[in-house]
Amino acid sequence: MENITYILAILITLLILKIIFNAKAKDIKKFETDEELEKIVEKLPDNEQLAKIYLQKLNNNTVKIDKWNDEKIKTSVYNAMTNTITIGKIDKMYTRIQTIAHECLHSVQPKRILKFNFWFSNINILYFIVLLILTLFRIIEETNIQIFILLMLGIIQYSIKSYLEQDAMTKAKYLVNEYFDTNNDIENTEKEKLLKKYEELNEKAIPFVSYSLIFSELLKILLYLIIVIII
Ligand SMILES: [Zn+2]
């Protein structure tokens, strides 16, 4: 009964946050393609060149720029441990101008936080896997303390990740603006169209990311509780 109450509490929490943040994946999906904007962005430098321009503006000349070996991967990431931005298959996407700015901004965030985030993410997931195994083999039977530990780990993870993401997402707009100020490849009206669309996307995406980050932490506790109930 106690565990069912925990599950209900988590579900209610997620529901409240979903409503408050108006977090809907389909709203974000709508921004994936836009023929007119894609044509405009075609006239701008390729991703690698663009990253170099941004990094120069950010006074960061140590970052390596790379691509995935698997060309189907669409996500782009900055790895603080190798100081590398790996760009996904986003050549055709109009959002790439903002995405590359986002990754470049990650590269100038405090290294201490970035590295902690790397280690902590790994420890967090490892703890969860070990906990599930030990629970399945009935080696760990004290549920409450584990829920509390998962919650604390989740709070740390959420605080750090949401700080890093919000910071990069919020600043991306200014970096793109700064870039457009010095760019002559496209017309001013085209720049305005792009900026307007990016602004609309950010309005939906920034709260959505906050919700997704807390969702993935609470989902772990939910899964753990379901396993505890089943076995
Ligand atoms: Zn990011």
Name the phi and psi angles at 222, rounded to 5.
Answer: -60, -45
Which 3-state string (H, E, C) describes 145-193? Answer: HHHHHHHHHHHHHHHHHHHHHHHHHHHHHHHHHHHHHHCCCCCHHHHHH
* Res 1: pLDDT: 82
CA 13 – ligand 1 centroid, Å: 25
CA 5 – ligand 1 centroid, Å: 34
* Res 71: pLDDT: 84
* Res 199: pLDDT: 96
CA 142 – ligand 1 centroid, Å: 36
CA 161 – ligand 1 centroid, Å: 9
Q: Are 94 and 41 in contact (CB under 8 A)?
A: yes
CA 165 – ligand 1 centroid, Å: 5
* Res 141: pLDDT: 86
Mean pLDDT per 10-residue section of the chain, whose length is 231 residues: 94 97 94 96 96 97 93 93 96 96 98 97 98 95 95 98 97 97 95 97 96 97 96 90
CA 4 – ligand 1 centroid, Å: 35
CA 198 – ligand 1 centroid, Å: 15
* Res 102: pLDDT: 98
Phi-psi region at 202: left, alpha or beta (left = phi > 0; alpha = psi -120 to 50): alpha
CA 100 – ligand 1 centroid, Å: 10
CA 106 – ligand 1 centroid, Å: 7
CA 133 – ligand 1 centroid, Å: 31
